[in-house]
């Protein structure tokens, strides 16, 4: 399961105070989301990649989709926290990110590989939508950068 948490600077005082530190290699990586406080970096959350599941090829494909989606969202000017997990409670992660003020959560899973569609959850409405991978960046940018006339 891969998750991408989309945020923008209006949901934190200074998003530049958040960094991502990766440790380890291959399937045994840890990603630490850190906040730079006046006292130094504080780890807010750690995500561990526990390696490949029984179908390593499918896991690799999911990882590639997460990489692609993260890159495309960044190209669209969106701030992205890319976390990759093979297992874990997705609902708990979504709830935690709702509390952090993350407006959109993108879920990449086995179904994404089969259909080419991604699950997108809006924090404000709790509505989950299915969006084609190729339309995701445009769809989110339209909602994040909305300027009423």
**Domain CATH number, residue 86:** 3.40.50.800
Q: Is residue 46 part of a domain?
A: no
Q: What tokens were used for 93?
A: 């992660």
- According to the model, what pLDDT value does residue 86 have? 42
Domain count, the chain: 1
Report CA-CA distances (Å) from 98 to 64, 124, 126: 26, 9, 9
Q: Is residue 71 part of a domain?
A: yes
Give the range of the structural domain holding residue 100, as residue numbers without chain letter: 2-13+52-144
Percent of the chain with pLDDT over 70: 75
Asked whether the predicted pLDDT for residue 29 surpasses 60, the reply is yes
Q: Is residue 124 part of a domain?
A: yes
Asked whether the predicted pLDDT for residue 49 surpasses 60, the reply is yes
Confidence band, pLDDT 50/70/90 cuts, at residue 117: very high
Q: Is residue 34 part of a domain?
A: no
Q: Mean of the pLDDT values across residues 47-76? A: 78
Asked whether the predicted pLDDT for residue 54 surpasses 60, the reply is no
Q: Mean of the pLDDT values across residues 12-39? A: 71
Q: What tokens were used for 132?
A: 């084609």
Report the Cα 63 to chain-centroid distance in Å. Answer: 12
Confidence band, pLDDT 50/70/90 cuts, at residue 55: low
Confidence band, pLDDT 50/70/90 cuts, at residue 43: confident
- According to the model, what pLDDT value does residue 14 have? 55
Q: Is residue 97 part of a domain?
A: yes
Match 């690799």 to its residue by tokens.
60
Confidence band, pLDDT 50/70/90 cuts, at residue 11: very low
- According to the model, what pLDDT value does residue 61 have? 87
- According to the model, what pLDDT value does residue 135 have? 94
Q: Is residue 42 part of a domain?
A: no
- According to the model, what pLDDT value does residue 115 have? 93
Q: Is residue 112 part of a domain?
A: yes
Q: Is residue 118 part of a domain?
A: yes
CA distance 96 to 90: 10
């Amino acid at each position: 399961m891969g998750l991408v948490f989309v945020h923008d600077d209006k949901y934190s005082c200074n998003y530049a105070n958040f960094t991502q530190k990766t440790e380890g290699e291959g399937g045994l990586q840890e990603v630490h989301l850190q906040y730079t406080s006046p006292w130094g970096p504080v780890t807010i959350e750690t995500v561990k990649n526990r390696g490949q599941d029984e179908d390593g090829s499918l896991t690799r494909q999911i990882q590639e989709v997460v990489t692609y989606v993260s890159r495309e969202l960044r190209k669209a000017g969106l701030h992205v926290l890319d976390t990759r997990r093979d297992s874990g409670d997705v609902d708990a992660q979504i709830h935690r990110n709702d509390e952090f003020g993350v407006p959109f959560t993108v879920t990449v899973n086995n179904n994404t590989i089969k259909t080419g569609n991604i699950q997108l959850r809006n924090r404000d409405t709790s509505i989950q939508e299915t969006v084609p991978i190729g339309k995701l960046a445009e769809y989110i940018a339209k909602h994040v950068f909305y300027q009423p006339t």
